[in-house]
Amino acid sequence: MRVLYSDDVLAHVPRSEMKHGGMIPARESPARAELVRDALAAQGSFVFEEPSRAVPSALARVHDSDYLAFLEGAWPRWEAHIGAGNGGETPDAFPLIFPVRTLEDVRPSVIDGELSYYAMDTGTPLTAGAWMASLASVTSAAQAATCVSGGERAAFALTRPPGHHAAAGKFGGYCFLNTAAVAGQTLLDSGARKVAVLDIDYHHGNGTQSIFYERGDVLVVNIHADPDYEFPFFLGRAGETGRGAGEGATLNLPLARGTDWSGYSAALGQACRAIAKFGAQALVVSWGFDTFEGDPLSTFQISRDDFARMGERIAGLDLPTVIVLEGGYATASLGENVLAGLAGFAAGGRS
């Protein structure tokens, strides 16, 4: 399997994040990508390819132009705003206030206000390398889609930070640019009439859902922790099925705390049947490995062997497939978990 990877994804180095009223060491770190890269490289059957630095045309199709301009220029503005008064070291950037229901939905002109306008949570620090790493990730995702459109059975985009929480004009959940959405749009731009996105991260892919919610050419299926008890809380319920032209093209399968393979397997079967019925010509898998039984952000009980079973089941759809890396915060186990999932995919489906 071809692996699209750039060392630029290591440029985003958050120091800390906000959790339960205090600051903790950042869980989304460059080590995640390094360990996956090393595990796949050691296995020997993966072909690594570095993506070009050309900005994929699909990026402007899924994200708002003002948001992209903000992200690209945010760090220099933040550094100029706060760096001089902080002993020479600029802290990571966090939002200050959110435009909640009682406030006007306007975009301020100062960096503190813009951070608050474009952020959806307080757990996603914006750093000096956030734009570089995120741009390298969406470029990898787009080129993985191009490989698949050109006849490859599957390609894996080794991306970080993750992408599925990023909406058209919002960042959060560790995500800045939506890799799965860019991959899906690239597949459509390359000739596919219908594309499915299967999100199997522990957390609901709210950004991907919102980007495609009113479109009928992309089916978005999420299997995730019920938002009644888990982030992102405000999207991901079974009653969300799409709007307008997208009615019926969103399927949410929220699961209870402690879900193990028996419950997860049933949901995955339902998801695969929906994708087959939709008539998708290509598939994007937002694969988060934070469903793992040892993950600090998860309550699910999915084992490494279960990841192999997931891969086999997904390969059984027999669709050209782009796989992008989303979450997974049991860092020491992540490389082997990803390897198990991709090996299961390689063993399933077409011979």
- Cα 127–74–8 angle (5° rounding)? 45
Cβ atoms within 10 Å, residue 14: 21
DSSP 90: P
State how far the alpha carbon of 156 is from the alpha carbons of 44, 120, 185, in Å: 15, 28, 16
Residue 56: asked if its preceding bond is cis (omega within 30°), the reply is no
Query: Residue ranges of the alpha helices (H) in the chain?
Result: 30-43, 59-62, 65-82, 111-118, 130-149, 179-189, 206-212, 261-278, 304-315, 331-347
State how far the alpha carbon of 103 is from the alpha carbons of 44, 106, 111, 171, in Å: 55, 9, 18, 19
Q: Could you give the residue numbers annotated as active site?
A: 165
Contacts with 242 (C-beta within 8 Å, 6 or more apart), sequence order: 213, 214, 216, 248, 249, 250
State how far the alpha carbon of 130 is from the alpha carbons of 70, 165, 249, in Å: 12, 15, 31
Smallest CA-to-CA distance from 252 within 321, 234, 261, 58 is with 234
Q: What is residue 336's three-state secondary structure?
A: helix
Tokens standing for 184? 């899906």
Half-sphere exposure of 232 (CA within 13 A, CB side): 28
Q: What is residue 166's three-state secondary structure?
A: coil
